[in-house]
Amino acid sequence: MAILKAHEIREMSTSEMKEKLAELKRELMKENANKATGGSPTNIGKIKEIKRTIARIYTILNEKKKKELLVNK
């Protein structure tokens, strides 16, 4: 999983963002389970990277939602 930059996420549609979010959450759950069972992580910073990407997607989704609300007023 490559790091998604904010400009790459902004180019996605809302449905694509939600699909990517679900994919990242599954991957995070898998990595956390691997960590909890004592397995060695495939990449040391992968969990942190996934969490940051999830936060970026949520932030951009909220920005779009706020923009839509302002336009509809």
Give the percent of the chain with pLDDT over 90.
70
Confidence grade of residue 42 (pLDDT, cut at 50, 70, 90): confident
Distance CA 4, CA 30 (A): 19
Exposed e or buried b for every residue in 16-42, given b needs 16+ CB within 10 A? Answer: ebeebbeebeebbeebeeeeeeeeeee
pTM value is: 0.88
Confidence grade of residue 1 (pLDDT, cut at 50, 70, 90): low
Give the percent of the chain with pLDDT over 70.
96
Distance CA 17, CA 6 (A): 12
Asked if the 6-72 domain carries CATH number 1.10.287.310, the reply is yes
Distance CA 54, CA 64 (A): 16
CA distances (Å), origin 63, targets 22, 46, 59:
19, 26, 6
Domains in the chain: boundaries: 6-72
Mean pLDDT, the chain, rounded, equals 91
